[in-house]
Chain A
C-alpha cells in the first residue's frame, strides 16, 4: 500500500527538456511511473522519452489528465511555475529544486494551504512508492522489488536512501518514502505527512529521518503524542554539529539555541517514538516492531 503516489497516478514532469529532467524522466518511467506529459515553456510539441511536451501546465492537464507534478525547474522560476501548476488544479507537487529563495517558499506555502494542495520540498528527493512509481530522484535500485509496510519520511535525500535500504535489510520494506525537503521553510509540515500515513491501512509504522535545524520534528512530536496511533522510529542526524554552522542544507543549522538533535530527540522520545542513535539501529528497532506486530 502507499500514500500520495501509486502506479496509476498520472504524472507531469516540469522542466522535462533539461539535462536532469530528461535523465530522471527515463529513470521514473523505467521504475513504472505513469508519466503522461512534460512541460517546458517554448518547447511545446517536442517529445522526451516518448512523453509529449507542452508549453504550459493548463494545456498539459487538459490534454493528458495529469494530476501530479514533479519539478526539475531552475530555482529562479520555481515560484511562478508553482502558481501556474496550482492554478491548473494539480494537487500534488514535488519541488526537487535546491536553492529556492525562502521568501518564494513562504508565498508558495501560503498558496498551497489556501487551495488545499500537497507540495513537497524544496530540496526534496521526492516520493517513491516501492515497486510502483516514483516522482523525483530517489534511485529505485536501492529498494526491494516489492513494497512493505514501513512508511519513511525524511528531511534529507541521500540519507533516506540509506534508511530505505536498512529497513529492507531488516525484512521490513518501505511502503512509501517521502522526502519533505531540507530548507528552513518547507511547503508541507512533517506532521501533515504523518497524517497521510495514519490514514493508510498498508502502513504499520513510520520512520522519521530528521536532522538538526528548525522545529519540524518538535511540532510533529506534539501531533504524535496527541493523535498518531502507529509506532514511530526516529533518527535525527547531526549530533555533533557545531553551533552556528550550516551543515549543507539551508535549514540544517543550530542557531540561537534552537534546532539541536537533543531537543528533537527529547520531544520525540516524550511522544513515545523509538530513537535510533545511528542509522543502523533503525533496522534493529524495525525488526523488534515487526516481531511485536506479527
Chain B
C-alpha cells in the first residue's frame, strides 16, 4: 500500500527525519487556516498517489493568504494524471540551495535492504541510475541488523560530504532506515532531500510504500487499502480477496494461479484479446468463485470466458458450483470454456457441463483457447 505524502511525512517526522511544518486541507478555507501553524510562504501539493506531480501541475508555490486560497481551490478542483485531488498538503516552503536523494528499498537481488544516497536529487532516481550512476552511493544491510550511525557516516563520506553536513545526512539515513523497518516498508524515499544555504536538511517529499502482507501487525497504518485502488473492478477484486487487472480486450479470464493467469493471457493474446487478468489464489470456495465470476462478467462487451483451474490446494469441485450459479442467473449466452484439472476433476467437469460450459481435458491452455476459438467461430 502506497501512503499519501502527508501520511508518510508524519511517520518520517516521528522517526526523526526533518520535515518542514505542514498541514492537510480538504478545502481552500482549511488551507488558509493552516497558515497559522505552517507560516508563509508555502508549497501546496495535491495528495494523489502518482509520481511526477510537479510536472503535471500538482505542486504550486504561494506567498500570500489570497494566493493560498486561490491556488488551493484550483488544485482541489482539478485532476492530476487522471486522479481527483481530494486533499492538499500545505507545507512550509524552504529555500533550497542543493537537492539530494535518500532512499531505502528492498533489493530483490541480494534479498536484503539497500540504502541509497544520491548527490543529485529532485529527479527520478531511475533516470539518475541510468544517466549518472556515479551520483548514487549504496549500502546493503541484512535485516534484522540496523543501519548504524557510523555506517551512515561512511556512506555520506563516500559520497563526498564532510563536517556537519556529513553527520546530518547520516542521521537522516539512519532515521529513514528505522522507519522503513518499523513500518514493514517496500520503499521509503525522500526526493529531494533539500539542503539550505546554512546546511540545514529538509525532507520536502515523502514516499512510503508498505508491504500489504505485513499490514496485520500495523494498526498505525491507514486501513482503506482497497479504497486506494483506482479501477472499480480492481478495487472490488481486492475486497473479495482475488487479483484483477483490467486489460483492453473482450475475452474474460479466470485462473487459479498468477503464473497460470499470465500464461493464459499470453496464449489468449496470440489469437484473441484478453479482457482481464484474474487469479483466485489458493482460497477457492463456492462463494469465492461466485463472486469472482460475477466480477469478471461486469466488464461490458465480452465475447467469451476462459476458465483455467488446477485443483492442488483448491477445491475446484466446490468452485465449479459457484461458477454455474452465476452462469445460470445471468443467462450467459457467449461461449464459456473451462479447463479444470487436478484433485476431483471429474466432479468439477460434471457440475460445469450442466450449465453448458465447454470442458477441455487436455493439459495445455492452447487446447482451451482452440476450443474457445472454435466456439466463437460457431457463434458467428
Residues of A participating in the B interface, judged by any CB pair closer than 8 Å: 20, 24, 27, 75-76, 96, 98-107, 109-110, 125, 137-139, 141-142, 154-162, 165-166, 169, 182, 184-186, 209, 211-212, 214-216, 219, 235, 237-242, 245-252, 256-257, 277-280, 283
**A247 in contact with B257 (CB, 8 Å):** no
**A247 in contact with B277 (CB, 8 Å):** yes
Provide the bound-state CA to CA distance between A112 and B240, in Å.
Answer: 35
If A98-B282, A142-B342, A237-B259 touch, does A106 touch B111 (CB 8 Å cutoff)? yes
Q: Which residues of A contact B211 (CB under 8 A)?
A: 101-103
B13 in the interface (beta carbon within 8 A): no
Provide the bound-state CA to CA distance between A276 and B301, in Å.
Answer: 32
B226 in the interface (beta carbon within 8 A): no
Residue of B181, B247, B309, B310 near A242 (CB, 8 A) is B247
* Interface of chain B: mostly helix, strand, loop or mixed: mixed
**B245 in contact with A107 (CB, 8 Å):** no
Binary contact track B271-286/A, C-beta < 8 Å → 1, others 0: 0001001010110000
Residues of B participating in the A interface, judged by any CB pair closer than 8 Å: 106, 108-109, 111-113, 126, 142-144, 181, 184, 186, 211-214, 216-217, 243, 245, 247, 255-263, 265-267, 269-270, 274, 277, 279, 281-282, 309-313, 341-343, 363-366
**B363 in contact with A142 (CB, 8 Å):** yes
If A247-B243, A278-B267 touch, does A241 touch B262 (CB 8 Å cutoff)? yes
Q: How many A-B residue pairs have CB under 8 A?
A: 190
Specify the chain B residue showing the minimal Cβ separation from A185.
B111
Q: In angstroms, how far is the closest chain B Cβ from the Cβ of A220?
A: 12
24 interchain pairs, CB-CB under 8 A: A75-B216, A101-B211, A106-B113, A107-B143, A110-B112, A137-B313, A139-B341, A139-B343, A142-B310, A159-B259, A165-B364, A169-B363, A184-B108, A211-B259, A212-B262, A237-B263, A238-B265, A239-B265, A240-B247, A242-B245, A247-B245, A252-B259, A277-B266, A280-B364
Q: In angstroms, how far is the closest chain A Cβ from the Cβ of B142?
A: 5
If A20-B313, A107-B144 touch, does A155 touch B111 (CB 8 Å cutoff)? no
**A102 in contact with B366 (CB, 8 Å):** no
Residue of A27, A250, A278, A279 near B343 (CB, 8 A) is A27
**B258 in contact with A161 (CB, 8 Å):** no
The residue among A155, A209, A252 with the most chain B CB atoms within 10 A of its own CB is A252
